[in-house]
Structure 1
């Protein structure tokens, strides 16, 4: 997948919210024991503010309210924390994208974009880490995340292809349109601020409409 990846530090100042990380405590409930989940959420918060390279394990432990040694009880390294955040984040966004129930190609693409874009707003600080710190992963961990990204790209490409096949989308370049849709939605995480005038749901609605116009939906 070729949509942009870089550093969290390259965009505007990140606004972390207790609400987002409270949601993570629920959505990342599969991470056990609770102390490991707490450490992972703390790492996401720290990376989103300082960037991966500028964050120390001591910073993460302080964010979690735990001792520096506690990091290594659950994770072998700072990089493993980043990998788990990236893996879970990509898997979650894939589930959000493919979890829509609509069958009609127009309605399905609209619902998928609405969910995908609003997720990148609702979880904007975490999504920034997931999308823009990939270069810090080891080759083995990066390969696993890249496979998830390929599945995300394939899911959108299949939706666009289905609309073209049904004659309801006018798209001369399916691959190009797929990358444009993904880039549009993912970029929400870069600029979204909770204090802005649109809610995540409103952004989802706006982007669904924009994408349908992009693919010439009829």
Structure 2
């Protein structure tokens, strides 16, 4: 299983770069005669990850109880959020960074923030503002690819789990950290395809236009390089 370096955003797939250590809650006297498997039924799990690209170390610490699914964890550096340029609105960047910071602690809340990010992006980038997100995504249909639209609507539906209470309050639909992280990957993808791609295109077109103007000015002024006559 790979991991994303929080420093350089390099995706690492070599398990040899991840070292996991368990620190049992038992005292040394309690461990006598116990197998290693029994000794770590109740422990603190610490993962050290060394990025082969930048060489920096990230740490994740979480409780470990055998046969129990524990969601709490502490990571250093505390956020795995990728860097977002300043031309992405500050409100969207802030919600995204908060969603990333709580994805392991409260994935349902993280999914709700991802939904909020999506709505802000539709408002800002596409200038679509309807009575609710469902109507806004319907208006977005035809402006993005069918597969992208379906994924966007899927993010809305999953984000609704945390945003809205079910009519049957006894019905609990959970969102796990892995699922919430996929929603954040979609937010990152949309930012890249919408904001970053638009900025890169505008910058390239502007540079080429300026270059053409410079060459035209050189031609008219006769300051260009003269070829030697043969």
Q: Which structure would you say has the larger RCO, counting Cα contacts within 8 Å and 6 or more residues apart?
A: 1
TM-score by length of 1: 0.26
TM-score by length of 2: 0.25
Please identify which structure carries the higher helix content.
Answer: 1
Tell me which structure has the larger Cα radius of gyration.
2
Relative to its length, the structure with more strand (as a share) is: 2
